[in-house]
C-alpha cells in the first residue's frame, strides 16, 4: 500500500478528529464505558482540540494519507514528560513522547503503522532526540507487540484517565 506521511495542518483538524474518534475506542480496555470513551473523545480528540494541538510549538501531528484520505495519524510531544513519575523512568534525553499513534482498522496489517513509526523515528533523529517514549494500556497486547517489534521496551507504569475511569499504562522507551 502506498501512503504519504506529512505534517498535518490546521485544515486537517476535522479529518484527524474523525480518525481519532474511530480509532481511540479500539485501544481502550474492555472495562472502559462507552460514556467515558465518548467524554474523552469530546474533551481531548475534538476538531477544536486538534486545532490547538496543531498550533502548539511543542507538538507535531503527522498524518498518513492513502488515496487522498487520512487513514492514520501520530501526535508527538517534544520535551520533558509532564508526569514526574514518567520523568523518572524515561532515561533518554532529549526525548519525544509518542502521545498518539492510530491507524484506521481497514489499514491494520498493511504496513501503514510501521511506515508511520519509521517517519516518527526519522523526525526524532533529525531533531537530535536520544529516545522516544509512550504509554500503552496494559491490556492492549496487540499495541505492546507492535511497539516491542519497533524497539520499545517497558521501563515503568503510569495512570491514564478516560472520563471517570483510571486506567493503567506501561511506559515504553526506545533509544535512537
- Give this prediction's pTM: 0.95
pLDDT digit of tens for each residue in the chain (176 aa)? 789 999 999 999 999 999 999 999 999 988 899 999 999 999 999 999 999 999 999 999 999 999 999 999 999 999 999 999 999 999 999 999 999 999 999 888 879 999 999 999 999 999 999 999 999 999 999 999 999 999 999 999 999 999 999 999 999 999 99
Q: Which CATH entry fits the domain spanning 2-127: 2.60.120.280, 3.30.230.10, 3.40.630.30, 3.30.200.20? A: 3.40.630.30
* Element holding 145 (H helix, E strand): helix 141-149
Domain ranges in the chain are 2-127
Closest to 31 (Cα-Cα) out of 165, 169, 171: 165
Residues 6+ apart with CB under 8 A from 54: 8, 9, 10, 12, 13, 61
SS3 label, residue 73: strand
- In 3-state terms the chain splits into helix, strand, coil percentages (rounded to 5) of 40, 35, 25
All 3 cell numbers of residue 159? 495512570
Amino acid at each position: 500500500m502506498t501512503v504519504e506521511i506529512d505534517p498535518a495542518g490546521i485544515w486537517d483538524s476535522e479529518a484527524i478528529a474523525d480518525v481519532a474518534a474511530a480509532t481511540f475506542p479500539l485501544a481502550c480496555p474492555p472495562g472502559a464505558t462507552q460514556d467515558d470513551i465518548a467524554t474523552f473523545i469530546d474533551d481531548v480528540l475534538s476538531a477544536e482540540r486538534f486545532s490547538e494541538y496543531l498550533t502548539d510549538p511543542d507538538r507535531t501531528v503527522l498524518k498518513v494519507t492513502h488515496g487522498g484520505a487520512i487513514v492514520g495519524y501520530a501526535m508527538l510531544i517534544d520535551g520533558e514528560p509532564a508526569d514526574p513519575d514518567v520523568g523518572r523512568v524515561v532515561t533518554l534525553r532529549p526525548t519525544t513522547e509518542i502521545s498518539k499513534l492510530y491507524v484506521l482498522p481497514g489499514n491494520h496489517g498493511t504496513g501503514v503503522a510501521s511506515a508511520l513509526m519509521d517517519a516518527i523515528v526519522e523526525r526524532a533523529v533529525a531533531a537530535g532526540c536520544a529516545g522516544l517514549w509512550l504509554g500503552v494500556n496494559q491490556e492492549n497486547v496487540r499495541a505492546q507487540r507492535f511497539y516491542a517489534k519497533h524497539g520499545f521496551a517497558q521501563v515503568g507504569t503510569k495512570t491514564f484517565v478516560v472520563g471517570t475511569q483510571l486506567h493503567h499504562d506501561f511506559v515504553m522507551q526506545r533509544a535512537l
